[in-house]
Structure 1
Amino acid sequence: MNAVIEEIFRQAEIHEEIGQVEPVAGGDISAAYLVHTKKHVYFVKHHDEAPRDFFRQEAAGLCFLGEERLLKVPAVYGWGDTWIVMEAVRGSAAPQTEEELGRGIAQLHDTKGTFFGLEEDNFIGELPQVNGWEGSWTRFLRDKRLKPQIELAKSLGRLPLKREKKAYSLLDHLHDYIPDHRHPVKLHGDLWGGNWISGENGVPCLIDPAVFYGDHEFELAFMQLFGGFTSAVFHAYEEIKPIDALFKDRKPLYQLYYLLVHLNMFGESYGGAVDRILKRYAKT
């Protein structure tokens, strides 16, 4: 492995002697390592079969999130077709960490854009995430989020006839449930509990983005899907950005996108959750 890391450092133009290389567990997509030199500790991800632009988009997403310096993101030192080298963020949670995280996410969600989406497509996990610019949130959610995942599920044989009928019925009637007057704001895009970590002095840090401009409720819905965020995070969030009382009625529809992603990545174990949401909202 040291030979691989040495080649990555050569391409990244990091001219430091490599010492200890520690494998890091937990990544579903890439192999990850802490690489020690005399001056620094680097975090390196490597994936020989990464999709085209996978690591370029990760670097761009971290830059997108870090522009306003509202929450920490790792510094990126270089990337290539099969690798990315970043700052190693290491630390442990402090009493104020979760409140800082909640406030930082709320401030991120107050960073407004002009249109929904993003200039380029990127990734959600290892799946392509369709972007482009759209003036309507409902159309963006339908055409750039739900429809591509529904069509991918069909191509993978994960959309049996009953599920298919309900899914396309929902697309036809999405405007009945989703408001179209929201202003686009910056989103991390893949903000589950595993995509934030504590850095030095307990400073919260965002990692592994799937960024775009969207409705802030879309992010909140995913944050509440798989857990990983305590009530302290949401209380701090609401101090800056109160949550609409009707959010609870829209939340399952926003969670549907992420459940479809998981259905397409991991299989039918997520099918039941998809079906429950379709049964609730579909007109047929």
Structure 2
Amino acid sequence: MAVAGLHVGFMSSSCISFADTGILPRKSSPFTRFQRPLVMACLGNDPITEWILSEGKATQITRISPVGGGCINNANRYDTDAGPFFVKSNRSIGPSMFEGEVLGLNAMYETHTIRVPKPYKFGALPTGGSYIIMEFIEFGASRSNQSELGRKLAEMHKAAKSEKGFGFHVDNTIGSTPQINTWTSDWVEFYAEHRLGYQLKLIRQQYGDSTIHERGQRLAKNIGPLFEGVAIEPCLLHGDLWSGNITSDKNGEPVILDPACYYGHNEAEFGMSWCAGFGGSFYNAYFEVMPKQPGFEKRRDLYLLYHYLNHYNLFGSSYRSSALSIIDDYLRMLKV
């Protein structure tokens, strides 16, 4: 990962970069390297420092250094005498974005299955924008063990279910695109309306693409047959599982980062597989814990479609042909 400046964010929901998405970085920071006297002088204007030196149980911040490379959120490591902390901030977006991340990380953390960074605090910045403080995880040399990743991800899906149906406690973001998580009792309705339908609406608004909007809506209204004979439970999903959000800790255990969590059909977790590098050992281990359901292969591209549409919205028309190809294939298959 190349460091492009003092404050650099992570890029999520794309094969371009490492983990999250965000705004262009600030030119400089008043805190590049300092000792406690300077920290104490800034406490009143800096809720990040204030939390680290109180609830974070540190007495001194010895260094602040940028982490990663990207363009939407600033990401920094805070070294202290109580250990390191990972801090993301965004100068343009309010705390609601990080609220969704905190709720998602907590939900995954509480399953005690796959490792995720423990979130500590989020809030508003006095000068505008927001921040989140979380556990700093030392990454190992290898990205992850594929079979262990598959097994632990399946254990998380099996452990965390929702009695409210499909959705999440708050709306959140997939990359920087809003992700609507209104609780819905029926999965087909939820996926058609809040996943495919919402992305198609944004494409029409942003690009005026009536062709993909019309064909996509026709597909969304007719996906029911793809789920016949399938028992669908609302499992906790990471929601944005691509290679940049998958790594391992220094002990070689899989770690997943920067979620866009919601409760949905477990197969939807593989929607970024075209950008995640999942291999045979991953799927074999996963299906040992969560058995493969009838028609899995027929539904795979349907779940890829959501993320191709989102990439069209985020990065432009280079993703249009892939999305439209999937839509047209399904329209022919379903004869609608």
Shared fold by TM > 0.5? Answer: yes
Change (3 A) 1:277 1:128: same
1:110 aligns with 2:158: yes
Cross-structure match for 1:130 = 180
Cross-structure match for 1:98 = 146
Cα displacement (A) at 1:140? 0.6
Cross-structure match for 1:195 = 245
Provide runs of 4+ in structure 1 moved above 6 Å: none
AA partner of residue 160 (structure 1): D
Distance 2:232 2:252 in 1: 33
Cross-structure match for 2:270 = 220
AA partner of residue 155 (structure 2): Q
Cα displacement (A) at 1:155? 0.8
SS at match of 1:19: strand
1:233 aligns with 2:282: yes
User: Are the counterparts in 2 of residues 74 and 89 from structure 1 also a CA contact under 8 Å?
Assistant: yes
Tell me whether 61-70 or 1-10 shows the greater mean CA deviation.
1-10
**CA shift digits 1:3-51 (9 cap, x unpaired):** 4996222256445322222211234421111111122111111110125
Cross-structure match for 1:186 = 236
Distance 2:262 2:170 in 1: 9
Which ranges of structure 2 fall in alignment gaps of 5 or more residues? 1-28, 34-38, 40-45, 125-129
Cα displacement (A) at 1:280? 0.8
1:54 aligns with 2:97: yes
Which residue among 80, 93, 97 is the counterpart of 2:123? 80
Cross-structure match for 2:5 = none
Cα RMSD of the aligned pairs, angstroms, is 2.3
Cα displacement (A) at 1:194? 1.2
TM-score by length of 2: 0.77
1:36 aligns with 2:79: yes
SS at match of 1:140: helix
Greater RCO, 1 or 2 (C-alpha within 8 Å, sep 6+):
1
**CA shift digits 1:119-155 (9 cap, x unpaired):** 3211111211111211111001011111111111111
Change (3 A) 1:66 1:19: same
Aligned length: 282
1:173 aligns with 2:173: no
Cross-structure match for 1:67 = 110
Which residue among 187, 193, 218 is the counterpart of 1:143? 193
Cα displacement (A) at 1:181? 3.7
Tell me whether 140-149 or 167-176 shows the greater mean CA deviation.
167-176
User: Are the counterparts in 2 of residues 89 and 198 from structure 1 also a CA contact under 8 Å?
Assistant: no
AA partner of residue 260 (structure 1): L
**CA shift digits 1:104-128 (9 cap, x unpaired):** 1111121322211113211111211
SS at match of 1:44: strand
Cross-structure match for 1:23 = 66
**CA shift digits 1:190-220 (9 cap, x unpaired):** 1111112211311212211111111111112
Distance 1:95 1:220 in 2: 18
Distance 1:187 1:219 in 2: 6
Distance 2:260 2:146 in 1: 22
Cα displacement (A) at 1:172? 2.0
SS at match of 2:167: strand
Change (3 A) 1:134 1:96: closer
Which ranges of structure 1 fall in alignment gaps of 5 or more residues? none
Higher Cα Rg, which structure:
2
User: Are the counterparts in 1 of residues 140 and 252 from structure 2 also a CA contact under 8 Å?
Assistant: yes
1:10 aligns with 2:50: yes
